[in-house]
Amino acid sequence: MPYRTDIAYLYDGSFEGLMCCVFESYYKKELPELIFTQEEAQSTLYDIREIESDRGKAARVKSAVKNKISAEALDFVQKAFFTILPRKERIILDFLRKGFKTGGVILDMLTDDTVSVLSKAVSHLGKESALYRGFVRFSEIGGVMVSVIEPKNFVLPLMMDHFCDRYPEEIFVIYDKTHSTMLLGEKGKARLGYVENFEPGEANIGEKAFRRLWQSFYEAIGIQERYNPQCQMSHMPKRYRSQMTEFQERETAPLPLFPEPEARLPGK
């Protein structure tokens, strides 16, 4: 019996919701032409089926992926879901359908168009998350380490373990302005949450002083005679610099070189 193709799926934008779309595709014998979220709402001539998220159905699909393809394949599609690849949901569905037929070797089939496109997107995600692990700059505001980033891909899930291991005794916040998502780390544990608007607050005099020290250090280690902007951009792309302390505008007000303890400890 041929699969129905003149249909589009509307889902909630979560990975579990996408797994439910995969479940419905097999259960209803449908191959949707489009899979999109309410935020991506578009006019279409196809019938639209709204797919509700169901943890049980999502768990069944995840288990099937691990058992019939591989655990690596499940990790691969989860990462693919975090990318900015256009129509990624539909491509992930194609990948899983092929994987259920071929098994674990699907990940090695790099000449396949579906696998190739997803692999390139996942590689871009991995590179961006690695860059942000090095480029994230924290400011101490109200006793909390705070950073705001603007990535292309949804990199926070790939950064959680790194910063929890790096700051096991600290409370920190990394806000993804692009995806309106906050990573909150506290005592080695982390969680993600949707936050539509986030303002980190005004830095106190102590934080401003340390920013100036960091900027002065950055300027002091530079060798003007060997200045090479092209080389610098290859190691530190311009689009990250607006979020990096050393490239931000210096404070003009006079600040103490070494702030008093009261200035460095807000609320004390």
Strand, coil or helix: 103: helix
pLDDT tens for 19-65 read 999 999 999 999 999 999 988 766 677 889 999 999 999 999 999 99
Q: What pLDDT sits at residue 209? A: 75
Residue type, 248: Q
- pLDDT confidence bin for 226, thresholds 50/70/90: confident
Q: Are 129 and 83 in contact (CB under 8 A)?
A: no
Mean of per-residue pLDDT scores for the chain: 87
Residue type, 173: V
Q: What pLDDT sits at residue 29? A: 93
Q: What pLDDT sits at residue 40? A: 78
Q: Residue 169 falls within a domain, yes or no?
A: yes
For residues 114 and 140, membership in a common domain is answered with no
For residues 37 and 102, membership in a common domain is answered with yes
Q: What pLDDT sits at residue 259? A: 52
For residues 255 and 145, membership in a common domain is answered with yes
Rounded to two decimals, what is the model's pTM? 0.82
For residues 99 and 173, membership in a common domain is answered with no
Q: What pLDDT sits at residue 1? A: 54
Q: Residue 88 falls within a domain, yes or no?
A: yes
For residues 90 and 183, membership in a common domain is answered with no
The share of the chain scoring above pLDDT 90, in percent, equals 61
Q: Which residue in 164, 76, 148 sits closest to 115, CA to CA?
A: 76
Q: Residue 1 falls within a domain, yes or no?
A: no
pLDDT value at 199 more than 70: yes
Q: Residue 178 falls within a domain, yes or no?
A: yes
Q: What pLDDT sits at residue 187? A: 84
pLDDT tens for 101-143 read 999 999 999 999 999 999 999 999 999 999 999 989 898 888 8
Q: What pLDDT sits at residue 216? A: 77
What range defines the domain where residue 216 resides? 135-264
> How many distinct structural domains can be found in the chain?
2
Q: Residue 114 falls within a domain, yes or no?
A: yes
DSSP string, 123-161: HHHHHHHHHHHHH---EEETTEEEEEE--SS--HHHHHH
For residues 191 and 85, membership in a common domain is answered with no
For residues 88 and 176, membership in a common domain is answered with no
* Residue after which a domain boundary falls, among 126, 145, 161: 126
Residue type, 147: S
For residues 121 and 141, membership in a common domain is answered with no
Q: What pLDDT sits at residue 245? A: 75
For residues 76 and 193, membership in a common domain is answered with no
pLDDT value at 268 more than 50: no
Higher per-residue confidence, 255 vs 69: 69
Q: Residue 164 falls within a domain, yes or no?
A: yes
Q: Which of 155-159, 209-213, 254-258 has the highest mean predicted lDDT (pLDDT)?
A: 155-159
Region 166-186: what's the mean pLDDT?
94
For residues 106 and 19, membership in a common domain is answered with yes
For residues 144 and 191, membership in a common domain is answered with yes
* Residue after which a domain boundary falls, among 126, 148, 168: 126
* Residue after which a domain boundary falls, among 69, 97, 126: 126
Q: Are 84 and 153 in contact (CB under 8 A)?
A: yes
For residues 114 and 212, membership in a common domain is answered with no
DSSP string, 190-258: EEEEE-S--------HHHHHHHHHHHHHHHHT--GGG--HHHHHHHS-GGGGGG-GGGSPPP-S---SS
